[in-house]
Amino acid sequence: MACARDRSSLNRIQSRRCAHDRNVGYLVGSIMTAAFLGIVGRTADITLVVCLLMQSALAFRLSQTVALHLCYRRSGLERERLALTQPLPAEDELPAVLIQIPTFNEGHLVRRALDAAVSLDWPPDRLQIQLLDDSTDGSAEIARATVAEFRRQGHDVILIQRSHRAGFKAGALTAGLACSSQPFIAVFDADYVPSADFLRLCLRPLLGDPRLAFVQARCDFLNARENRVTHAQQVILESHFAVEQPTRCWAGQILPFNGTCGIWRRAAIEAAGGWHGDTLTEDLDLSYRAQMNGWRALYLVSVAVPGELPNSLASWGQQQCRWNKGFAETARKLLPSIWRSALPWGRKFDAVLHLGGCAFGLLVVATGILCGIDVLLGTPIYSLVLPLAALGLLQGLMGALAMALLSSNFLRRSGVNAQSRGFVTTCRLTLYTLLMHHYAAALSAGSVINGMRGRRSGFVRTPKRDRLAG
């Protein structure tokens, strides 16, 4: 009996000890879990603040562009006026010019492109046109038939069709250069329709300044009023082509080539190492390399070349993914060289913000995820996070609105845009463009990550149609 009582007492003691140990274990586990979640929350909070600061830095570019535009506009336009009034050489002394039109599965659009090219006002014996066709569908046969027709009419039109698409557009342009010797090369995408006086306008400054690498004209739009998507794109792109691009030129920042509607000096292309096919934005890559090599660039805001806009949100988003990935690839490729270069620190900082603009989508996605984690764990520092979020939002909204108003006002005063927008309409469209930007940002976040990691992908063309007006 005594032994049984002793065993029962011992079991109770052991049971109480086990319960105590379990309680201590639960307590220690709870403390460790709380500490771990606290570390996760604080880490998320700090990272969120960093993301918001980076978004504010990118939004600062808009405010900076508006300020620089207002500061340099008068002197910049005067310099452009003087550049466009420089005399051309005598007719028999005009230089030979090569027109390059890269195409890929464009169908009957090549006819319109060639019609515009052969209509350019330049001595026929010093004008050669290359149709650089990499088509993989029935467009290849259309290109052959169309070029043959123009050649029968006496035009110097050459068709170059490759059996592969190595380097995509950059590879096609390089193949065309290897078959030619003209000192000046004009590049047009298939959907752009230059006016007859394009060459006589844009070659004036190139002939007057031997250190100019290229002259970029302003891209305009054939179908801007087709629907809400194209109308919003007009607001976005007019802010870029009528405000940002001329401002970069006037302020001495690195000016990116837009891939079309421009004339390059062959010597500058060769000195910069030629077209490279290792990014999806070969135009951005070459223009940066040329200007890092000491060449200059000129933007002509008063010379416009109309082209087509994607007419659906899906095709526009596809285009944005390609552009943003190309920016990420170019940033990965060139930013180390830019920092090691002899460029002034101001231009280096601007290049970081310019090329780093592709990270906006990543920052938006990361901010949303981090904000959710922060709120769930109850660790946000509202006194810091909310002002930073409000600052970035206000900077972006006011900067976008200011650029939209500036571009609309400038083009209206220049007599370019006959259909002016009212203030309320501009505000409404600006809000819509911000929604489109965030949509494209979320859509292209994965593409930007792949670009930063150096993962290659194919070139996905933006669908185009053979029409002159929307």
If we measure between CA atoms, which residue out of 427, 424, 418, 419 comes closest to residue 398? 427
Contact indicator for 255, 284 with CB cutoff of 8 Å: no
- The Cβ of residue 261 has, within 10 Å, a number of other Cβ atoms equal to 27
End-to-end CA distance of the chain: 103
Average pLDDT, the chain: 87
Q: What would the pLDDT profile of 116-175 be if each residue is shown by its tens digit? A: 999 999 999 999 999 999 999 999 999 999 999 999 999 999 999 998 888 899 999 999
Helix (H, G, I), strand (E, B) or coil at 211: coil
The three-state (H, E, C) secondary structure of 96-125, written as one string: CEEEEEEECCCCCHHHHHHHHHHCCCCCHH
Where is pLDDT greater, at 342 or 304? 304
pLDDT of residue 190: 94
d(CA 250, CA 72): 6
Q: How confident is the model at residue 371 (pLDDT cuts 50, 70, 90)?
A: confident
Active-site residue numbers?
A: 134, 283
Residue 179's pLDDT band (cuts 50, 70, 90):
very high
Instruction: Quote the pTM value.
Output: 0.87
Q: Residue 194: which of 259, 264, 118 has the closest Cα?
A: 118
Is the model's pLDDT at 296 over the cut of 70? yes
Q: How far apart are CA 241 and CA 410, in angstroms?
A: 11
pLDDT higher than threshold 50 for residue 291: yes
Average pLDDT over residues 182-211: 97
Residue 416 near residue 306 (C-beta atoms within 8 A): no
Predicted local confidence at residue 13, as pLDDT: 53
